[in-house]
Amino acid sequence: MASGYLAYDDQYFYFASKVADNTPTPGTYRFETRNDDEFFYPDVAYKPDANLSFRKKDGKREVTENDQSALQNPNGEGRLMHYWEPDDNNIGMGIDLNLPTNKTTQVAFYLPNLDTYFTEVEFWDLKSNTLLTSENCDKLWNGCYLVYELSGNIRVTFKGNWWYNVKLAGVFFDKKSNNATSSSSAFPVRQDFDTKGNWKGVYGKDGFWVFGSTPNLLEGIEVQATEYNVLIPLKWPDGVRHFSYRKDPVLPANSAGMGFATDNVQIAFNVIPIGEDGYGSTAKGTMPKYVGYKCTDYEYALNQVAPQYGGGTEIWRLLVPGMPEKNFYPRQPKSPFDGSVKNGKLAITHEGNTRITECAIPWSELPDVKKALDAGKTIKFSFRINDNGNMGNCLELARERSVSKRNSHAFHAAWKEHWANEVEFGFDK
């Protein structure tokens, strides 16, 4: 919910809004000083070798007691489905084990069937960096335990593919009396599809780590996630302009849908008659306003500037007569009209769950609006509220009003839902 307030005097046009907002943000860039080069790759960049790098990230799913594929909670009733999976830059993850060398330890790795199709498992001697054994697991059913007898310093790696990411939910230890044949060894025992999440009394008599709970390991057993990153250098060709984005662009109108969203307000004026604003009034053979049409002459973004970019606020000029329509991507060609409103005033504050925006824009910035005021004419005005917590909601003054219809030309950016700037106001004292 939002409310807007309009006023004026001899020097300024005033706008204020009160917005229900319980997800405040620190702000965005100061676009006047945005470093456009940071959005593009440098002379040398690096990417992980997807086949040789092993790094994990944590994930979880909410489960119920009836989900037999979820592991029993070691600390009481209920079940857990926390897991490791490869991070976003890799297809593999690993677990490093430090186990006794004189006797083998039975180790069971629990692989839940969560969006997983194929798992390649390898066992490496960490001291000699040699491959001890490997296997492929292409059926997980309702969860599979890969059970091995291991000794020494072992790295176990799990690789899936980009579409079906391998996951590991727990590891369980049971000491054996079998003598180890070497300081590091790995022997397959079985694949267990029957136990599913009911590991208590079956595995883990001598230690366990159910992810999402505190590890319970005996002395002489050490476990940690593999952190092994092999980087491939990528050198930009000499003499070629750096044109590939290294991250999503951040735009002054709020670039939701490209990995970034913040809180802000946009205001827009429609004052120049259709057909007199530098655009054709209608496509040949169609009635006016039959398709998308230009309904905004002046548009501004009212932005909070994040502390790391200097703090404060910025009124950014999105559109004025004569300015080419664009979205102000990094390195997009500039026009003489680009920039912030230097002699404007903007304050953005939060009071509890209410975001308050107040701005003053000098009439010198809005000459056609001032002419309409002096001539006693009406103007068309709209504002748009952007909330990082609900960027899919179109909160515009003209939304669903009988005088308006959906029209992408009302506000930036044109790929969002907008409503034609057709709500009309008169000036009063």
Per-residue pLDDT tens digits for 1-49: 899 999 999 999 999 999 999 999 999 999 999 999 999 999 999 998 9
Are the CB atoms for 418 and 401 separated by under 8 Å?
Answer: no
Which range among 256-260, 299-303, 324-328 shows the weakest confidence by mean pLDDT? Answer: 256-260
Instruction: Tell me the C-alpha distance between 55 and 94, whole Å.
Output: 7
Residue range 84-109: average pLDDT?
Answer: 94
Please check the confidence at residue 95 and state whether its pLDDT lies above 90: yes
- Tokens found for residue 347: 């304050």
| pLDDT for the residue numbered 160 | 87
Where are the domains positioned within the chain? 2-40+248-425, 56-231
Strand order in the sheet with 119-125: 130-137, 119-125, 153-159, 92-98, 222-225
| Residue partners of 419: CB distance under 8 A and separation at least 6 | 382, 394, 396, 398, 399, 400, 401, 404, 405, 406, 407, 410
Residue range 101-108: average pLDDT?
Answer: 94
Q: Tell which wins on pLDDT, 401 or 117.
A: 401
| pLDDT for the residue numbered 330 | 95
* pTM metric for this prediction: 0.73
Please check the confidence at residue 258 and state whether its pLDDT lies above 70: no
Which range among 194-208, 223-237, 258-272 shows the weakest confidence by mean pLDDT? Answer: 258-272
Which range among 131-140, 184-193, 206-215 shows the weakest confidence by mean pLDDT? Answer: 131-140
| pLDDT for the residue numbered 287 | 85
Helix (H) or strand (E) holding 319: strand 313-319
Provide the 8-state DSSP code for 180: P
Confidence at 161, pLDDT banded by 50, 70, 90: confident
Please check the confidence at residue 223 and state whether its pLDDT lies above 80: yes
Judging by DSSP bridges, how do beta strands 119-125 and 82-86 pair with one another? unpaired
Residue range 56-78: average pLDDT?
Answer: 95
Domain 56-231 is in which class?
A: mainly beta
pLDDT digits (tens, 9 = 90+) for 273-323: 988 888 887 878 888 888 889 999 999 999 999 999 999 999 999 999 999
Are the CB atoms for 384 and 411 separated by under 8 Å?
Answer: yes
Instruction: Tell me the C-alpha distance between 305 and 44, whole Å.
Output: 30
Average pLDDT, the chain: 93
Instruction: Tell me the C-alpha distance between 369 and 12, whole Å.
Output: 11
Q: Into which CATH architecture does domain 2-40+248-425 fall?
A: Sandwich (2.60)
Give percent above pLDDT 90 in the chain: 81
- On the question of a cis peptide bond just before residue 413, with omega within 30 degrees of 0, the verdict is yes
Helix (H) or strand (E) holding 374: helix 367-374
Select, from the ranges 98-102, 111-115, 361-365, the one with the highest average predicted confidence (pLDDT).
Answer: 361-365
| pLDDT for the residue numbered 242 | 93
